[in-house]
Chains A and B, each alone.
Chain A
Amino acid sequence: MLKNYFKIFIKVASQNKLFTFLSLFGISLTIMFVMIFSMTISKITTGSGPEKNLKKIVFCQRVSVHETHNGKKVGGFSISGCGRSLCEDHLKNVKNANIISMYSGPQPWEFIFNGKYQSKLQNQTDAEYWNLYDYKFLQGRPYNKEEVTKSSNLAVITRSLKELLFGSDENVLGKTVRYTSMNLVVTGVVEDPPKTAQNAMGDLYFPYTLIKNNDPTEEYLGGFIIAFKANSSKQFGPIRNEAQEMVARLDAADTLHSVFLSGPYSQVEKMMVGYGDPEEYSVGTSLFKYLMYALAFLLLPAINLMALNFARIHERGEEIAVRKSFGAASRVLRGQFLFENILMTLTGGVIGIILSYLVVAFLGNSLTLRVNFMGSVPLSFSFNYLVFIAALISCLIFGLLSGYLPAIRLSRMKPAVYLKGGEL
């Protein structure tokens, strides 16, 4: 029976080329976007370059502080990254994590070099940062804990920054890099992290202690991300509880402020929650919001295909009437139409997948995807079976959404009408 349906599908598709083109155009473009988006997001969430252990890391990057009076929130509130004191004195003591690192994350660094404007990224880190991420050292070593504590003027630079600043010089260890008013001595050179490694991005890395805390009274807020690396994701729960308990104790002890810590979140959760008010944006609400976006994105072309299918029902009337006459039950006819529609969407899906690879291969570096406030990342190619399954499921959802109602209408048609040429 499926062979029979397949023959019909091929014939119908080849006979009505405009319909086939319109159907495949909508499906393949949608699947192409789904694939490109999923592949790029997959690369960011599974980790690339130094972030090979990304799935074992959770992050806190947002704290909100409300002023309180007699236990009630009054006046304004502030949202920012984690404060230095909050990280150093409290969150760094979480016992369930194997490695805990605080760092500023990639920050803009603009300067003039040889008369030319340069825009690079700097990242202020602790010593544990080099254990948290897996940078490939081409020369030298990272700065250590003692050097960070002493606020030593040291830096690790990337290969591209080395080439910019020192040209063809082979060994640049011991040479200095000027950052604002500081001269930093290069202790190591690392391979450039790919742009999809959003947490580990940077060109210049130096001890965070070099930047003095201008406002020592600000205990909670600051510009730091704190990352906890666990043995496995099973430890995320205990780490989260421990961190939240610490902040709850701080909150209880502070009569003037109410403190709320967002996270710790995994990379996926972090991307969903973004940088909004941590008390308002939970993973659940963000997930729901994105699922709604995805559904709407899939629904529009599905409705378009459904409309095309409805418009074509009468073309198939005679065939359906004949099939009914010779014993096809409505359920069987619904199955046939859905089968054909799913074949159509899968064909569109395959074209979409091929298109997505072609677009990424030829335009990947010039097209970017904006990821929250982390900046834009180039579209990335990565074969991931989950992405592939996502594309297939999208095709199936497409096929079912666009085919089901027309299939019902088709299977309910009265055969007598079509066997007499449309009139009784």
Chain B
Amino acid sequence: MIKLENISKVYRTKEIETLALDNINFEVREGEFVSVMGPSGCGKSTLLNIIGLLDEPDKGKLNLNNLEILSYEDKKTARMRNQLVGFIFQSFHLIKELNVYDNVELPLIYRKTPQAERKKRVMEALEKVGLVNRMQHYPSQLSGGQCQRAAIARAVAGDPKIILADEPTGNLDSIIGHEVVGILADLNSKGTTIVMVTHDEMIAKSTHRIVRLFDGRLVG
């Protein structure tokens, strides 16, 4: 489902160059739930951004869903992100001006899904995370756990094959964190491939496989 070959990424400023990823070779099979671990600044988020086509590698090949990414043309990557990938972020990143329903609807709007179909899918996604009764609430009216559940609903509303979760439990207490991982595990059991960045060893151990990064290199 995901294949990275010799992927490298360097961030350049006027003064310094930072090697964020150094010759990464890494594969995730369809239906796998993989944790990415490593200390802060080791390149975990960069790896996720490259898999999610939010960033472009300087070197190497990326293959998503048996399709090699040859061009990072804006319209094409936007379409692939929309149809193939669902993102979950540590800080939820719900649009604060929109209520839960409108936030979850977002990927379907960009897919130009008809309204009736959109409504059905949003309701299904909200049911999966148990947030139907909060769909008219705004992010500021929700707890951290509820925000993350809304973010998960947004990520799954478009029924993506891949979910990329960047420290989804990082801002939650352990009980809520395990609840969120439970929802992800449930999605994975239904066939969704998940790559999750986490600092929590316990949570990482509950996934199929752990990949460790250090200074931009794969170490295990």
Contact = CB atoms under 8 A, between A and B. Distances in A.
A7 B81 contact: no
Given A4-B102, A330-B74, A419-B89, A424 B11 contact: yes
A11 B97 contact: yes
A15 B107 contact: no
Contacts of A325: 52, 54, 81, 87, 93
B74 A326 contact: no
A321 B45 CA distance: 15
A172 B75 CA distance: 82
Interface of A is mostly: helix
A8 B97 contact: yes
Of A322, A325, A331, A415, most B-chain CB atoms within 10 Å: A325
B95 A327 contact: no
A420 B98 CA distance: 21
Contacts of B87: 325-326
B91 interface: yes
Contact of B74 (A4, A319, A329): A329
A4 B102 CA distance: 7
A46 to B, nearest CB: 46
A340 to B, nearest CB: 11
A331 B79 CA distance: 12
Contact of A414 (B55, B79, B81, B95): B55
B207 interface: no
Given A319-B95, A419-B89, A4 B78 contact: no
Nearest to A321: B93
Nearest to A319: B95
B110 interface: yes
B106 interface: yes
A329 B78 contact: yes
Nearest to B86: A326
Contacts of B94: 322
Contacts of B8: none
Interface residues of B, number: 33
A191 B74 CA distance: 69
Contacts of B154: 326
Of B87, B94, B111, most A-chain CB atoms within 10 Å: B87
Given A419-B93, A421-B91, A328 B55 contact: no
Given A325-B87, A416-B49, A331 B93 contact: no
Interface in B179-204: none
A323 interface: yes
Interface size on A, as a range, is 20 to 34
B54 A415 contact: yes
A43 interface: no
B82 interface: yes
A322 B83 contact: no
B107 A12 contact: no
Contacts of A242: none
B11 A327 contact: no
A419 B54 contact: yes
A321 B158 CA distance: 18
B14 to A, nearest CB: 15
Contact of A332 (B93, B102, B110): B110
Nearest to A327: B82
Contact of A7 (B55, B75, B89, B102): B102
B57 to A, nearest CB: 12
Contacts of B97: 7-8, 11-12, 15, 319
Contacts of B142: none
Interface in B96-120: 97-98, 102, 105-107, 109-111
A416 B75 contact: no
B63 interface: no
Contacts of B83: 327
Nearest to A326: B107
B46 interface: yes
A318 interface: yes
A195 interface: no
Q: Give me the 6 closest cross-chain CB pairs, A-B, nearest first.
A: A327-B82, A11-B97, A327-B110, A329-B78, A326-B107, A416-B49
11 contacts: A4-B98, A8-B95, A319-B97, A321-B93, A323-B106, A325-B93, A327-B83, A327-B158, A414-B55, A419-B93, A424-B45
Given A324-B81, A414-B55, 4 more contacts: A8-B95, A8-B98, A15-B97, A424-B20
